Amino acid sequence: MTETLLLFTVAIALGWPLGLYLARIMRGAPMRGDAVFGLLEKPIYALLGARPERGMSWRGYALAFLASNLVVGLLAWVVFMTQGMLPLNPDHVPNLRWDTALHTAVSFLTNTNQQHYSGQAQLSYLAQMTGIVGLQVVSPMMGLALVVATLRGLMGGRARMQAKEATPAPQADHADSVDVGNYWADVVRPSVRFLLPLCLVWTLLLASQGVPSTFASGPTVTPVDASAGMAGQKIPVGPVAAMVAIKQLGSNGGGWYGPNSAVPLENPTPLSNFLEMLAIMLIPVSVVFMVGAFTGRRRFTALIFGSMLLMSVLSTGASMWSEGHSATTASAALMEGKEVRLGVDNAALWSSITTQVNNGSVNAMHDSLAPLTGGVAMVNMLVNAIWGGVGCGLQQFIVYLLLSVFLAGLMTGRTPELFGRKIEAGEVRLLALLILLQPLVLLGFTAVTLALPQFTGNSNPGFHGISQVFYEFTSAFANNGSGFEGLGDATYWWNLTCVAVLLLGRFPALIVPLVVAARMAAKRHAPESGGSLRIETPTFALTLVAVVLVLTVLQFMPALVLGPIAEHLTLAAS
């Protein structure tokens, strides 16, 4: 409990000033470091052929986002399929099979980092440093860029946000004429000025704790137990600290080693364990605090932060209770899949935090969690907006916010509007399609997989097998990446179906809210009055949380009952 309170306290204390700093970066305000950072940014803009001061409509912004994803995704795919012929491969790792390479490229491109390979054995140093770490840097910043553009749209466009009260900006006459910012500037500026400096600090902190940071090939050691029949065992190392820093800070989660942060080399000490959990929360919390300074609506940040914190506390408490309660009845069995250095409490805390954020890193095998703890992790990913990933969590929260405003307006007899702009049928249809996409994808793929085990290769029978399949697709759709690793997922079926789920879970969830915001920005602004719906209140925050639970937990209750709840009842009765 002490470590949990300390973790939340430090994350909030550091997140506040970092959020204010991030708001200045995203507003393009003059900064003391402009001369230094400009030396790095100008060559990048020149290479991209971008003009950072030039605004974009939502169409131009979305096309730039999709085009950049296509290019870097194809480059990563090629690297994975040709790594055996490329340099920085001292362990002579062969090429990845095309479908595993495709899944890996799409997984890291979508900020998911779902791994159907074992990193230390199947990727070269070059592939880890470019295809993996490169995508781990740009993909979270792409998500941040989309949510910042959406916030600009909700506030009436960049021109209105920058205009002074004495000289108001003209009203846009069409959604396509709304300036939502410049995509290239929104990706490059926070990457250079915010994420990379933080990664450098975290890399040094983790290296100080003993996380490997080297280009040398790993040593070969003699096993302690000579009866194992092994002449020697190769210990894989590499530039691990830098990857662990970005995997945690960027809501990525894909580890250098297959077992992730359960490996002592990747997570050697109690301090490294705390630093890695703190890194999971730090930037998502900072993004929440960014909102008030960026939009000029401080109470809006209070609404978001209060709602997310409430859901986070409930989730963390449920995980800690579930795992602790199970430990009192079956302590020996419960230690399966957990690192004995860290124990049950740290495993429960990490599993909760990593699924509240779209991170997915682990310090214990989620397949070995108590059934209800695994169920809490599933619910966290279904909500996908407790803290969420860098940018994409806030983007999903905005979806819930808009729907809650619409429903609350109908229930109170007021016109549904946000910041003086109406939410009408066209916007609600787009949001409804986004909400319906989740059950169609998750339940559809889960049903087919369970119905055709001879083709799909589910590795476990019974209730736990249902949980494994549902968890895998939920993790992919939520861009989380964690898994119930008893599942044999390195197959054509799992690679290709998860590619589809990864793409469907990432791109509509980022682009549709941007479209809705641009449509709203083009509408006539009505000054807020006594009859306007007040959203920045505790009552509305509770309403929003209730809407989130109804739209996620209740519609997936049959899957949860057939999976983790049924497994829990079976174990309790035995």
Please write the tens of the pLDDT for every residue from 337-382.
777 778 888 899 999 999 999 999 999 888 888 999 999 999 999 9
Q: Higher model confidence: residue 164 or residue 106? A: 106
Domain-embedded: residue 227? no
| pLDDT at residue 165 is higher than 50 | no
Give Cα 277 distance to the centre of its chain: 14
Q: What was the pLDDT predicted at 409?
A: 84
User: Alpha helices, DSSP H only, in 227-297?
Assistant: 240-249, 270-295
Q: What was the pLDDT predicted at 75?
A: 96
Report pLDDT digits (tens) over 479-518. Answer: 999 988 778 888 999 999 999 999 999 999 999 999 999 9
Report pLDDT digits (tens) over 252-273. Answer: 988 888 788 888 999 999 999 9
Domain-embedded: residue 230? no
Q: What is the mean pLDDT of residues 208-223?
A: 83
Q: Which own/partner pairs from 65-74 qualify as long-range (CB within 8 Å, at least 24 positions apart)? A: 65/142, 65/145, 65/146, 65/183, 65/510, 65/511, 66/507, 68/138, 68/142, 68/183, 68/187, 69/109, 69/142, 69/507, 72/109, 72/134, 72/135, 72/138, 73/105, 73/106, 73/109, 74/105
- Contact present, 417 and 531 (Cβ < 8 Å): no
Q: Higher model confidence: residue 90 or residue 292? A: 292
Query: Left (φ > 0), alpha (ψ -120 to 50) or beta: where does 420 sit?
Result: left
Q: For residues 357 and 368, what is the distance between their CA atoms, to the nearest angstrom? A: 20
**Amino acid (one-letter) located at 262:** A
Domain hosting residue 498, numbered range: 2-169+180-220+235-573
Query: What's the pLDDT band for 419 if we cut at 50, 70, 90?
Result: confident
| pLDDT at residue 333 is higher than 70 | no
Report pLDDT digits (tens) over 462-475. Answer: 899 999 999 999 99
How many CB atoms sit inside 10 A of residue 205's CB?
17
Q: What is the mean pLDDT of residues 99-126?
A: 90
Domain-embedded: residue 544? yes
Q: What was the pLDDT predicted at 238?
A: 82
Angle at 291 between CA 286 and CA 296, to 5 degrees: 140
The residues, any chain, with a CB within 8 Å of residue 336's CB and separated by 6 or more, are 368
Determine what percent of the chain is predicted with pLDDT higher than 70: 93
Angle at 464 between CA 463 and CA 467, to 5 degrees: 95
| pLDDT at residue 478 is higher than 90 | yes
Q: What was the pLDDT predicted at 237?
A: 83
Pairing of strands 233-234, 220-221: antiparallel
Structure tokens at 367: 């397949």
DSSP 8-class letter at 174 = S
- Contact present, 518 and 180 (Cβ < 8 Å): yes
Domain-embedded: residue 229? no
User: Could you give the 3-state DSSP secondary structure of residue 561?
Assistant: helix
| pLDDT at residue 41 is higher than 80 | yes
Report pLDDT digits (tens) over 280-329. Answer: 999 999 999 999 999 988 899 999 999 999 999 999 999 999 887 765 55
Query: What's the pLDDT band for 534 if we cut at 50, 70, 90?
Result: confident
Domain-embedded: residue 226? no
| pLDDT at residue 35 is higher than 70 | yes
Domain-embedded: residue 18? yes
Residues of the chain by 3-state class (helix, strand, coil), percent to 5? 70, 0, 30
Domain-embedded: residue 228? no
| pLDDT at residue 416 is higher than 80 | yes
| pLDDT at residue 33 is higher than 60 | yes
Query: What's the pLDDT band for 202 if we cut at 50, 70, 90?
Result: very high
Q: Which own/partner pairs from 324-331 qualify as long-range (CB within 8 Å, at least 24 positions apart)? A: 324/348, 325/370, 326/370, 326/372, 326/373, 330/571
Angle at 278 between CA 256 and CA 543, to 5 degrees: 115
Q: What was the pLDDT predicted at 47?
A: 93
Q: How many domains does one find in the chain?
A: 1
Domain-embedded: residue 436? yes
Q: What is the mean pLDDT of residues 534-539?
A: 87
| pLDDT at residue 166 is higher than 50 | no
Per the prediction, the chain carries an average pLDDT of 89
Q: What was the pLDDT predicted at 530?
A: 66
Q: What was the pLDDT predicted at 274?
A: 96
